[in-house]
C-alpha cells in the first residue's frame, strides 16, 4: 500500500493536481500500470484501483471547484444571453416586411434629419463667416477712407503753408526791390543835386 501511495503521489506531482482531480479514472489506470512491476515482484497483482474522492487540507481543490463552478455559471449565462438574442432576432424577423419597412423608414428619417441639421449648421457657419468677412472688409474700407482723408488734409495743409510761404517770400522780395530802388533813386537825386550845385558855383566864379 505504501508503494502504491508513493506511486500515486509521484504521478500526481508529475501530471499536476488539477488534471489528477478532473481525470480520476484515467489517473487510477495510470497508477495501476506504473505500480504493477513493483507490486508483481512482491507476488501481488492490482486487479482494481478506484479513486472515489480527492481532498486536501489547504482547500486548493475546493477553490478549483469554485472556479469551475463560476466558469460553468458564466458559460450558462452567456448561453442564455445568446439564446435571448437569437430569439429576439427571430422575433424581429417574424414581424415581417412591414415592420422592417417601418424600421427602415425611421432610420431613413433619422438620417434625413441628421443631414438637414448638418446642412443648417453648415449654412449658419457660412452666413456667419460671410458676415465676419463683410465686417472686416467694411472696417478695412473705413480705415482706407479715413487714411485717404487724413492724407488729403495733410496735403491741403501743406499746399496752404507752401502758398503762404511763397507769398511771404514774394512780398519780401518786392519790399527789398522797392528798398533798393528807393535807395538808388535817393542816391541819384543826391548826386544830381550835388552836380548842379557844383556847376552853379563854377559858373559864378567865371
Mean pLDDT for the chain? 76
When pLDDT is cut at 50, 70 and 90, the band that residue 60 belongs to is low
Residue 35, Cβ neighbours under 10 Å: how many? 21
20 pLDDT above the threshold of 80:
no
* Domain contains 188: no
* Domain contains 146: no
Q: What is the pLDDT at residue 141?
A: 86
Non-local CB neighbours of 33 within 8 Å, separated by 6+ positions = none
* Domain contains 83: no
Give the position of cell 501511495: 5
When pLDDT is cut at 50, 70 and 90, the band that residue 192 belongs to is confident
When pLDDT is cut at 50, 70 and 90, the band that residue 97 belongs to is low
Share of the chain above pLDDT 70, in %: 70
Number of domains in the chain: 1
Write out pLDDT tens, residues 2-11: 666 666 666 6
* Domain contains 5: yes
Residue 21, Cβ neighbours under 10 Å: how many? 20
* Domain contains 62: no
* Domain contains 189: no
Apex CA 22: angle with CA 21 and CA 28, to 5°?
70
Q: What is the pLDDT at residue 133?
A: 83
pTM of the model: 0.29
Do residues 31 and 4 make contact, with C-beta atoms less than 8 angstroms apart?
yes
* Domain contains 190: no
Write out pLDDT tens, residues 100-151: 777 788 888 888 888 888 889 888 888 888 888 888 888 888 888 888 888 8
**Domain enclosing residue 11, as ranges:** 1-54
* Domain contains 41: yes
Please tell me the distance from the alpha carbon of residue 105 to that of residue 52, in angstroms, as a whole number: 65
**Range 57-64 average pLDDT:** 60
For 124, what's the count of Cα atoms within 13 Å in the CB-facing half-sphere? Answer: 6
168 pLDDT above the threshold of 60:
yes
Amino acid at each position: 500500500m505504501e508503494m502504491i501511495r508513493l506511486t500515486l503521489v509521484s504521478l500526481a506531482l508529475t501530471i499536476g493536481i488539477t488534471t489528477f482531480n478532473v481525470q480520476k479514472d484515467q489517473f487510477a489506470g495510470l497508477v495501476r500500470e506504473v505500480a504493477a512491476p513493483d507490486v508483481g515482484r512482491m507476488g501481488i497483482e492490482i486487479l482494481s484501483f478506484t479513486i472515489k474522492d480527492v481532498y486536501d487540507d489547504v482547500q486548493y481543490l475546493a477553490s478549483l471547484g469554485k472556479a469551475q463552478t463560476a466558469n460553468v455559471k458564466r458559460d450558462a449565462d452567456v448561453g442564455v444571453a445568446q439564446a435571448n438574442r437569437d430569439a429576439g432576432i427571430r422575433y424581429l424577423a417574424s414581424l415581417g416586411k412591414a415592420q422592417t419597412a417601418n424600421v427602415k423608414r425611421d432610420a431613413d428619417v433619422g438620417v434625413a434629419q441628421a443631414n438637414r441639421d448638418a446642412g443648417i449648421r453648415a449654412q449658419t457657419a457660412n452666413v456667419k463667416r460671410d458676415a465676419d468677412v463683410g465686417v472686416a472688409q467694411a472696417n478695412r474700407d473705413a480705415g482706407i477712407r479715413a487714411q485717404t482723408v487724413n492724407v488729403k488734409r495733410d496735403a491741403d495743409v501743406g499746399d496752404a503753408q507752401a502758398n503762404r510761404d511763397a507769398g511771404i517770400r514774394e512780398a519780401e522780395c518786392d519790399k527789398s526791390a522797392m528798398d533798393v530802388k528807393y535807395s538808388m533813386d535817393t542816391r541819384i537825386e543826391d548826386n544830381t543835386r550835388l552836380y548842379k550845385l557844383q556847376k552853379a558855383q563854377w559858373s559864378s566864379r567865371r
